[in-house]
Structure 1
Amino acid sequence: MSNNTAMICIDQELCTGCRRCAEVCPVDAIEGNDREPQHVNTDKCVMCGQCVQVCKGYYPIYEDVPTPISKKYFDRGMLGDNKEPIFAAYNKGQIKKVKELLQNKELFKVVQCAPAVRVGLSEDFGMPLGTLSPRKMAAALRKLGFDKVYDTNFSADLTIMEEGSELIERVTKGGTLPMFTSCCPAWVKYLEQTYPELLGNLSSCKSPQQMAGSVFKTYGAKVNKVDPAKMLSVSVMPCTCKEFESEREEMKDSGYRDVDVVITTRELAHLIKDSGIDFKELEEEDFDDPLGLYTGAGTIFGVTGGVMEAALRTGYELITKKQIPSVDLSAVRGGEGFRTAEVQVGDLKLKVGIVSGLKNAAPVLESIKKGECDLHFIEFMTCPEGCVSGGGQPKLLLDEYKEEAYNNRKQGLYDHDSNLALRKSHENPSIKKIYSEFLGAPLGHKSHELLHTKYKSRKE
């Protein structure tokens, strides 16, 4: 599948033309007339999947539809025994591919899960909205046949080491400011195609997903004594744009495709059900060391403001060499919109901004172009409440569930953070170990080679 292939689609037979999808699309990529089937402009689409979440046009049980439902399952990459209603707006899935690859005895199979998955997955098994279930999730992944169950939270900690160091270097040595976060692939694609003149502001760090993939097939291969050519690297994401990110041509610094295949939270739930695993009754298990150990800072990457808070916890201590007065930086927490905060870091008054919901990005970017923005660092997240509200999360069929679900998922991650013994990325012993044994120093030669990248204009 190339990057030009449509990953977000609208089924012309099921679309009623209500245009709910057009209302939530942050880049006006949904085109069509009222009460007529809509279509996706793939040049504009950033594959955030918010249209998938909001779509209400579903396959009718008692009406004739020209294409049989079994054919629709096949075309969408779904498993044939899916019991849930299917809707007009959908993302093309990879679940069948993962199911087949899990049967391959010659592959060494590793998996990573993003922070937001652990507060969404259990909803598809009838558990309360936002239930935190990381250790049941780890157990389920082992039962599915993965040899190593690692975690994107580990590489979120790794991202903070690199991104925090990059910010400090830019601030102290006169680099391009404000620096933008680069964790969200839909945001990165938007910047490439709409404001390429500001690509110099974007952090050169890969996202945690891609850092993990690069590390799994290099350091991880050495630790596990396996041939990276025989490794299968799967990621489970709350995001429908992560497959696009994994397929970018530059994402192969390990010498192989860093992440081989991506499935969403919803797809993992379907895979667990398909395998006959009783998720609710699973005994809890831990993630594998050393690439599954994480801090509270890695955990909060799944909420809006979380990347910023994690970066400030570590950045403060790297700059001042002193303990941060409080790890709970409530000034950067919040919901959809644009907010700013000032944090005193030693002699530096660090000015930061948080953009949650891509529709709020353009005014901020325009102010930067005009030279009217005096911020040092800005976090951008495409989805309205950050990754907890991602396009690949369990679908909320009734709008009144949305606020409760998003609030509960966010609170679940904050609770997880506050209950962990370690809450700062630089305190993670596995992070210290990977730098001492393999990477060297943040922003060093090896780190630059494996964990950083360059982005390019897509405006033409």
Structure 2
Amino acid sequence: MACTMTINGKQVAFEKGKTILEVARDNELYIPSLCYHRKTGPASKCRACVVEVEGMRGLQTSCSVEATDGMVVNSDTPDAAAAQKMVINLLLANGHHNCLSCEANGDCELQDAAYYLGIEVPAFLVETEAPLTDESSEFIVIDHKKCIKCGRCIEADNCTVVNEVLDFGFRGHDTKVICDDNLPMGDSSCVQCGECSQICPVGAIIDKKAIGKGRAWELKRVDTVCTYCGVGCQLTLHINEKKNEIVKITGVEGAPTNDGMLCVKGRYGYEFVNSPERLTMPLIRNQQGILEEADWDAALALVARKFQEIKTQHGADAIAGLCSAKVTNEENYAFQKFMRREIGTNNVDHCARL
């Protein structure tokens, strides 16, 4: 059922069952928020999204209060703005947020909130010893000194991809995100799917292979489909056009197949695209057993002759075909049709099943 409400003096329509923050985002009305993500749900941890709601006492977290028909909400009143500024100021002060050199510069929700609220320098000085950075895993770096303890990575790990590796450990000021029983990520049960990296709102969890290769506004984004298996996960390639190089890969949020989630191969297995070892011409072994480049006609004639010899001497089932996920569905179809009809065997397999 369509309903209407008023946010900061603007009347907007919405579908029943949404929160105030969701309605605001649907209508491109900005309310600072950090711990909320569509996939992880209303957390009400960071308190950055507080608003005033007519008829309710005090400030309300817009990520957890359900919107109702006729509701009047204000996110920019003096009291709401002061509370939002206090939260962002404390988060900026209680960490080491070197925005100019941070990998998340230009793609950071804490930075966005500070800019919106007009915070240039944190209002507080909190002297803390910087926690160690965990670089033990193959593809992910955890920078604890930039962590704002929003819990989004934990919620995503436990409830979205359900790998159940991440959690909060210790108490009070010493609270931090840990892997398993406080193991280095490289020694933990983490499968390096990278969901935590994608969902982190700041630069606390980042892709190791992307470090120093380009900032958000320098990279062109191109949507495509993963080449590794038949699920059809949708990807966004972040490309440095000057170097013609893929810097990193993220999943497409809201895609019906994967909703932003990827496996370790889909997210981090992209070096083959620019590998100098990729074959561009057929190779045929000479009499000394050394591979030499050949033209396509010679290569195809050799393969056809060898297939015919094997089929004549040993039968069609002495031949098997292994196809690839790195070609199109149409090419895979043509390959299996060739093996079954022209060769006469059902010995067909595919690398994505292995």
* TM-based fold match above 0.5: no
More helix by share: 1
Q: With the length of structure 1 as denominator, give the TM-score of the two structures.
A: 0.21
**In terms of Rg, which structure is larger?**
2
More strand by share: 2
- Higher relative contact order, chain-length normalized (CA < 8 Å, sep 6+): 1
Q: With the length of structure 2 as denominator, give the TM-score of the two structures.
A: 0.26
